Amino acid sequence: MAAEDTRKRGLGRGLSALLGDEPAGKGGAMAPESGEARPANTIPVELMQPSPYQPRKHFDDEAFAALVESVRDKGVLQPLLVRKDPKDEKRYEIVAGERRWRAAQQARLHEVPVVVKDLSDRDTLEVALVENLQREDLTPLEEAEAYRRLMEEFGHTQEVLAKAVGKSRSHVANMMRLLGLPKPVQRMLDERQISAGHARSLVNSDKPEELAREIQRRGLNVRQAEDLSRKAKLAEGKKAGAMAPKDPNISALEHDLAEAIGLKVVVRAKASGAGSLTIQFDSPEQLDDVIRRLKE
């Protein structure tokens, strides 16, 4: 029950809810949440390791270099959230703050401030996902995958997630749709050959790989990519309609009607049962003749 309460409290507040607003350092503030949190303290960087539940796989080199310089100049200002390593009680697993830990190593710091909290594997995963989403540290696909895991593994709705990370529900839904793109298109997105906006324009396309390559080759912006995708969809629809074989019963009906009125007749039927009947004429006289026949 305690673990369940922790999950409900953690969602939507992430790291700030666990650490509070107090600056932390050696002998610093207690984390305000219940759940066996210890005072903020310092731990040698060599006794810490990344969590296997970390959703982030990509680190921006330029942003990381700037973080290293900041840490070298001012130190690590916000403590990392860690838990005891389940396999080795002398070591610690980073729940939130892996970039700061890596930056501290690059800056040759020997210790970093931390808050140690007793968290289950499930809690660790959820806190890591939400914390990264709130910080906007994830790539588009990492963000989409984080939403998916929070929904599938924790039962959260898109509305709850949107509120938790300060986004709209449509944003969450649109990001998750990126996971349905073919792997080659996802690689182009990960490698920044196309943007998330470009990728979203392709989710309903019949040929997303082909269009993604064209977008990249022509250097299209998002609006142009949306137009390209829309035109391709319309062209495919017309092509499919032209190539679709007509129901023999419809063809027979067209023939009988044409024989009866002496003009070309086109019948279009939809799967719902609705449709249209078109009679083609070449002169006003032919139209008058059809009207006269219909009135008889």
Q: Please say if 143 is a catalytic residue.
A: no
State the Cα–Cα distance between residues 281 and 268, nearest whole angstrom.
18
State the Cα–Cα distance between residues 239 and 69, nearest whole angstrom.
58
CA angle 47, 53, 54 (to 5 degrees): 80
For residue 221, what are the contacts with CB-CB under 8 A and spacing of at least 6?
Answer: none
Strands 48-50 and 88-96: parallel
What H or E segment, with its residue span, contains residue 218? helix 208-218
Amino acid at 46: E
Beta strands in the chain (DSSP E): 41-44, 48-50, 80-85, 88-96, 111-116, 264-269, 275-280
Do the beta carbons of residue 40 and residue 29 sit within 8 Å? Answer: yes
CA angle 134, 127, 72 (to 5 degrees): 65
Catalytic-labelled residue, pool 33, 93, 98, 145: 98
For residue 11, give both structure tokens: 């969602």
The alpha carbon of residue 62 and the mean position of all alpha carbons in its chain are separated, in whole angstroms, by: 24
Give the active site residues: 98
